[in-house]
Amino acid sequence: MPQKSITAHPKFVWDLAKQASGILKICLNLAKCKKEDPVFSDVELLRYGRHIALPEFGIKGQEKLKKSSVLVVGAGGLGCPLLLYLAAAGVGAIGIIDDDVVDLSNLQRQVLFTVDDLGQPKATCAAKRLFQINPEIKITPIIKRLDANNALEILARYDVVADGTDNFPSRYLINDACVLLQKTNVHASIFRFEGQVAVFNHLHADGSRGPNYRDVFPAPPPEGLVPDCATAGVLGVLPGIIGSIQASEVIKVLSGIGESLAGRLLIFDALHMETRSMKIRKNPALAPITELIDYEFFCHSQDASKIEGDAANPHIISPQVLHLLIGNISKSIQLIDVRESHEYAQGNLGGMSIPLYQLVDNIHKIPRDIPVVCICRSGMRSQKAMELLKKKGFMNVKICGED
């Protein structure tokens, strides 16, 4: 039987040629890299080929990663995606410090672990999994709790610290230790449907350091005001998103590419799929950090019946503190928006909408057993509302310091 000739479609031939050309370019690029930079083995050049192909990154960026070290504090919801991508990216040395064990409730969001890991130390299980992903890097599990006695010694071994913890004592401890050791602290946190990422204490080109965690949050919220993950809940995919952003920031800091979140706080709202960025600055009024302290006492000695204001203006709370309080708004504070109804409809932070001129007629709706925070556009109407409420016997009324 005579053979039928098959004519390939011109577009197919063109696409095939482009693919072949692309593969050839990658091979030539890898060969060039191997010749110019013997730091990487053939296997590593293939592994990191997609990084090396990026003009902004290239072989030099990958070499910086290989020569760098990162300490990840916490192998939980944030730590899992963070560790996965740092290991896959080729960060040369990764330390994992966590004293917890894998629990069944972790598997909803902590994607490094399986049911076979239940009851085992998280740090050990994470290190084992990461080695399977990338055996070319050094991974060190540290099965202990970071505290004021060991923080300086442990953090000093690493170039950058990534804070994936879920409690305020650890966050302040990590921040203060990074400031004392002059380390960059890539911070992330999650709460219910929302996450935050920032790069604290970052070294600028002029030799100065950027804002640190205390510049944004000078003091922790009152004890019991912000519930933990077990109480408040968390969307399982959220730490994957935030942890990946945190990993991206670590990689940028180590490789020196792009623009990091130094001087900014990125806020991600998964429920409404919105992001916003707040500029943050160093607070010259803060006392310098000179030593580590008892962070459990520092964070647990706050009175939950009060919201601390600014030292010079005790009736004013910062937008950052208000933002923390709003996460637990149904129990912690009563937010009163005294703008007009149409302003509230255009955009609001939640809470109760009572225009200033209607405040007296609706004062019976405002609870007296929890702190009240009044907000408006510029601060003038909320100031008047606060004065009115205090005249009516409300003892704990604040206003937000900025719009």
Same domain, 324 and 386: yes
Same domain, 256 and 353: no
Write the pLDDT tens digit of every residue in 49-59.
Answer: 999 999 999 99
Any idea what the CATH number is for the domain that residue 102 is in? 3.40.50.720
**E-state strands within 231-371:** 264-269, 274-279, 316-317, 334-337, 352-353
Same domain, 242 and 196: yes
Question: Is position 194 within any domain?
Answer: yes
Active site residues: 229, 376
Give SS3 for 256: coil
Same domain, 312 and 352: yes
Instruction: Tell me which residue range forms the domain holding 330.
Output: 306-400
The percentage of residues in the chain with a pLDDT greater than 70, rounded to a whole number, is: 82
Give me the number of domains the chain comprises. Answer: 2
Confidence (pTM)? 0.71
Any idea what the CATH number is for the domain that residue 395 is in? 3.40.250.10
Q: What is the pLDDT along the chain (403 residues), one digit of tens a residue?
A: 555 555 555 565 566 656 655 555 555 555 555 555 568 999 999 999 999 999 999 999 999 999 999 999 999 999 999 999 999 999 999 999 999 999 999 999 999 999 999 999 999 999 999 999 999 999 999 999 999 999 999 999 999 999 999 999 999 999 999 999 999 999 999 999 999 999 999 999 899 999 999 999 888 877 666 667 777 789 999 999 999 999 999 999 999 999 999 999 999 999 999 999 999 999 888 889 999 999 988 887 554 344 444 444 667 777 767 766 665 444 567 899 999 888 888 888 888 999 998 999 999 999 888 889 988 887 788 889 999 999 999 988 888 754 3
Residue type, 116: D
Question: Is position 51 within any domain?
Answer: no
What is the distance between the alpha carbons of residues 110 and 98, in angstroms, rounded to a whole number?
14
Residue pair 202/271 in contact (Cβ under 8 Å)? The answer is no
Bridge partners for 265 per DSSP? 198, 278
Tokens of 318: 């910062």
What is the distance between the alpha carbons of residues 399 and 307, in angstroms, rounded to a whole number?
11
Phi-psi region of 207 (alpha: psi -120 to 50; beta: other; left: phi over 0): left
Residue pair 70/158 in contact (Cβ under 8 Å)? The answer is yes
Question: Is position 364 within any domain?
Answer: yes
Phi, psi of 371 (to 5 degrees): -60, 145
Write the pLDDT tens digit of every residue in 278-298.
Answer: 999 998 888 899 999 999 888
Q: What is the DSSP letter of 158?
A: -
